[in-house]
């Protein structure tokens, strides 16, 4: 059985952990597999180049999720405010609905909220806000430790529908992971 590894995007001595072409490939693969519109529903990250520029900017924390040597998905944190952030997650089709996604989600939350012997926790609170219509994302968030806060009407923009849609706010704290 392979090990789950969460790898941050960073640069060490000027060398990035993910090449530009690799990040662009992630974006393109999400659309080729048919779930890109769901993850990028607001339409703001509407090109691979824009996605790359966004996730490698200084106000975003971007991570790749590996199972052994296989890249199974990725996530990023934005709206980082002191001890809280919003998380956005995508898994490639081959891995969706598997135990690997549940385990990696729990590992990522523990890394962000609990820290380890090597580093202290980054956050006290992680939030996610999927559209009400994205039942799979809501169910996944609850399986890995998020608690439902409530529904927020007209909170998200759906580019495809060209209108605002309600979102479900979910939260996770280190106490939720116990």
Domain boundaries, the chain: 4-177
What's the pLDDT score for residue 1? 56
Phi, psi of 18 (to 5 degrees): -125, 130
pLDDT at 43 over 80: no
pLDDT of 150: 97
Domain 4-177 of CATH type 3.40.1690.10: no
Per-residue pLDDT reduced to its tens digit, 81-120: 999 999 999 999 999 989 999 999 999 999 999 987 777 8
């Amino acid at each position: 059985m392979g090990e789950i590894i969460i790898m941050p995007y960073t640069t060490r001595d000027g060398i990035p952990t993910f090449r530009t072409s690799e990040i662009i490939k992630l974006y393109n693969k999400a659309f080729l597999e048919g779930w890109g519109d769901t993850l990028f529903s607001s339409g703001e990250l509407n090109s691979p180049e824009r996605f790359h520029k966004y996730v490698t900017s200084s106000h975003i924390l971007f991570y790749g999720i590996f199972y052994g040597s296989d890249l199974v998905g990725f996530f990023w944190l934005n709206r980082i405010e002191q001890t809280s952030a919003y998380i956005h997650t995508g898994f490639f089709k081959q891995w969706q609905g598997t135990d690997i996604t549940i385990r990696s989600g729990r590992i990522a939350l523990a890394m962000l909220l609990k820290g380890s012997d090597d580093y202290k926790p980054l956050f006290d609170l992680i939030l996610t806000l999927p559209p009400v219509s994205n039942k799979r994302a809501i169910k996944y968030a609850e399986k890995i430790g998020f608690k439902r806060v409530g529904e927020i009407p007209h909170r998200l923009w759906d580019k495809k529908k060209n209108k605002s849609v309600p979102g479900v706010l979910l939260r996770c704290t280190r106490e939720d992971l116990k």
